Amino acid sequence: VLLTDDDQIQELNALYRKKDKPTDVLAFAMREGSAPRHPTEPELLGDVIVSIPTARAQARRARREALDEVTMLLAHGLLHLLGWDHDTPAKDRAMRAETARLCAAAEATTRPPSGPRVASQRREARRRKLH
């Protein structure tokens, strides 16, 4: 995973995709092609490159946290490494759904729980610390 700026991602996009403009995420899969993997080589999926400035801009436009946008872009890139694509409407719907599922799983493991019960437990813990 490489978190980078628009200049570097534009260079990579121009070099490998012949698109001379920045993009939000690039994924370069190691599993593509028919070359057999040597048994002693590690099982690598590939590279995911995310432009942080583009992710921030997209997050602002979508009125969400930049971390959520980066998480979504990483999930999207990872799915490309696993062979997913969005070149048809059906594949696009499936990939969006799987991206959302991965993002929800990531959020569940990185965000503290919330809600009335959790807030009450936090208040009680703070109260005990004071006494």
Query: How far is 27 from 86, CA to CA, in rounded Å?
Result: 13
Segment 46-94, tens digit of pLDDT:
999 999 999 999 999 999 999 999 999 999 999 999 999 999 999 999 9
Are 80 and 29 within 8 A, CB to CB? yes
Segment 13-54, tens digit of pLDDT:
999 999 999 999 999 998 765 566 666 666 789 999 999 999
Q: Is 75 exposed, middle or buried (0-12, 13-18, 19+ CB in 10 A)?
A: buried
